[in-house]
Amino acid sequence: MEAEEFLLVRDLFRSFAGRFRIGSADEVKPSPRAAAQRALAELGLGELRRSSPPAATVQECALLAEEHGRQPLTTSLLGTVLLAPELLRVLGAGRRSDSGTTATVALARDLRFPRADTSELVAWDCEGADSALCVTPDGAVTQAELGPLAPSADLLRGIRTVRSPQRIIGRLDAPGHQHWQAYALVMVSGELVGAAREFVELSVGYARERRQYGQAIGEFQAVQHLLADATVALEACVSATRYAAWCLDNEPPERALTAARVAKAEVNRSTVEAVQAGMQVFGGIAQTWEHIAHLYLRKVLLGATVLATTADLLVPLAEPEVTR
């Protein structure tokens, strides 16, 4: 997209996010959720990469994921707008899921990438979705219908079980599979970065205002260093995620996948650390149900397990890439 065009799309998205963000966990309710998802669908962002070549770069999509993460939103941007459409695009030009249906992605029950045994899958980030696409380790893509809601610690993100049988709708070649994995890792990372950034910014603002012992708590060096460390952790996440997104636009998928794994490994650790630091600054108020802190904490905590955990990533990254 041209720079101005991207800013327009972003502003459009920001006004949507400002309108539908929730103020506390009590506002997570089915009917406003559905309304917010319909409003998101109306923005038409799912079309962004449907043209050939795609109108939006991966980096631009990652920035939108970041925007979505910033606000407590109950909508499915990742699953239904970014991930499933990209999977269908990679699968074959112009391919869509069954007409009239909206797909999200299916993950293993523990939310990691599906493994060989696909008997127990969940539809992740399923608000507004009526089917789920699963990519098996050998690159086969299956589609299945959705079952009932499954419980999750992340109150903002809908998860449902997936019904059998799944039918095979196509197969990714090796570069396509790598691209898909890298893309998914980058979008999830982007959303988590947005959440952690927003929450740290909120806590910095709070540290300037909140007074104890007759002064702003942000004057205390102990508080300053906590927030400085959170900032360093966040900037590392921003650099890694944005670079990985850029690699998807400009480098071979193999290189992009390494960069995406690196980004997710950094994000898994650092966004949780940053949100925890922010909560420490908010103090007692952040321990309550009403406060939005736990919405952010839940998102990054669960997000750190989505697709690939730190343990999944670090051991493979310890060895050099196999050279062809």
Partner 1 sequence: MTDTPLDFGDPADLDRLRRDFRAWLAGHPLPERRPDEPLPVFLHRWHRQLHSGGWVGLDVPERYGGRGLSALHQVAISDELGACHAPGIPRIGYLAHALMEFAGEDQRRRWLPRMLAGDDVWCQGFSEPGAGSDLAGMSTLATRHDGHYSVRGQKLWTSYAQYSGLCLLLARTDRGAPAHRSITAFALPLDRPGVTVRPLRAMNGDDEFCELFLDDVRIEESERIGAEGDGWPLAMTTVSYERNALDTGHISKYGLLVERLRRVARDRRGELPDGLLSEIGRCFVDYEVLVAHARRRTAERLGGQAAGPESSIDKLLMTRTEQRLYETALKVFPGELHEEGGELFGDYLYSRAASVYGGTSQIQRNIIAKRVLHLPSLSKPPNPGAT
Binding site for partner 1 (CB under 8 A): 3, 6-7, 10, 57, 59-60, 63, 204, 207-208, 212-216, 218-221, 223-225, 227-229, 231-232, 235-236, 238-240, 242-244, 246-247, 250, 258-259, 262-263, 265-266, 311, 313-320
In terms of CB distance, is 153 or 232 closer to partner 1? 232
In terms of CB distance, is 59 or 142 closer to partner 1? 59
Round to whole Å and give the CA distance between 265 and 100: 37
In terms of CB distance, is 33 or 261 closer to partner 1? 261
Round to whole Å and give the CA distance between 37 and 33: 6
Provide, rounded to whole angstroms, the least separation between the CB of residue 90 and partner 1: 21
Provide, rounded to whole angstroms, the least separation between the CB of residue 203 and partner 1: 10
In terms of CB distance, is 172 or 187 closer to partner 1? 187
- Report the chain's C-alpha Rg in angstroms: 19
CA within 13 Å, CB half, 76: 25
In terms of CB distance, is 129 or 207 closer to partner 1? 207
In terms of CB distance, is 61 or 133 closer to partner 1? 61
Provide, rounded to whole angstroms, the least separation between the CB of residue 137 and partner 1: 21
In terms of CB distance, is 26 or 319 closer to partner 1? 319
